[in-house]
Amino acid sequence: MKFDRRALLGGLAAGAFAAPVLARAAGQAMRIAPDRELMVPVQGGSIYVRVNGDLKGPNPPLVYMHGGPGSGHSGLLPLTALADDRAVILYDQLDSGRSDAPQDPANWQVSRFVDELDHIRDALGITRWHVGGGSWGGTLALEYGARRRPEMASLVIQSPLVSTRRWIADANLLRSQLPAGWRATLDACDGAAPPAASQCDAATAAFYKLHVARGNRSPEIAAYRAGLPRNAGRKIYQEMWGKAEFVSTGTLKDYDGEPLLAKLDGPRTLFVCGEYDEARPATVAAFAHRVRGATFREIKGSAHSILTDAPDSYLTLLRTWLARHDRA
């Protein structure tokens, strides 16, 4: 299939970057322009990091990891509305967005992506921070949380891939609930003699509109996204995951992070997903229940891309959660 999930999640749109410094994210002000930018050396190259807000302020900053693999940070810009309370750190993983793109598969290891966080923390001189991530970024948040770093004030795991086996089972369950025509087309697209790519793309888009992103990116984010380099994001997604959500053929096909759940600091861990999320609420809640003292919240009206579908609800939840855990 040619349908590009990475583009959908990243908010791909035409046009040059001509956004104002401040924009509205469903009622809360986000900051399109960064207050600070830097390139941070990591294994394999250097990654782009942006900061909004005061890193020396009274509250620990929030660092948040993007999905994909390969999507880039643009879809996370609504989080910059939190910069009136604390610094917000967004970045592009290696081979994504504005980061270096060596396109070396040797770099595409889960542990190496997790290690990027420590390089960012060291570069910014941070002694305590909140760590979060969504989708593939939720996987990295899970992995980082299991390391039990002493500088972590709290952990936010949003719509995560925790187990590929469980993810595929959920995707297939949701796929089975599509209208019969879409189901038949998707089945044929996976067969030996698939129909035209346009038909496969339309059927895949129908699933994504229900369970990935129900809303549309703001014009400001779309314009910002259009100004970013393409780099190797699509290749990473295909190499690490596959062509679409329903089957994993890449290096993550046997990923199982469930043993890491027992290593999390439960009272400081928040699991979140959307009401219509492809990371199904029943599954994410079950993962949370396995972490003693963890919290689970479902964002009503949202699919997988919560910051697109229900930014105000998510920002309100995060403000409350982060404030509760600001003090050691």
Residues catalogued as catalytic: 135, 277, 304
The widest CA-to-CA distance across the chain, in whole angstroms, is: 60
Are the C-beta atoms of residues 244 and 5 closer than 8 Å to each other? yes
Q: Angle at Cα 241 formed by Cα 145 and Cα 263, nearest 5°?
A: 20
- 46 DSSP β-pair partners: 41
d(CA 307, CA 263): 28
Q: Angle at Cα 129 formed by Cα 280 and Cα 108, nearest 5°?
A: 60
d(CA 161, CA 179): 26
Adjacency order of strands within the sheet including 295-299? 36-42, 45-52, 88-91, 62-65, 129-134, 152-158, 269-274, 295-299
CA distances to 65, 105, 201, 261 from 133, in Å:
4, 22, 28, 16
Question: What is the SS3 assignment for 114?
Answer: helix
Which of 3, 6, 7, 12 lies closest to 225, judged by CA? Answer: 12
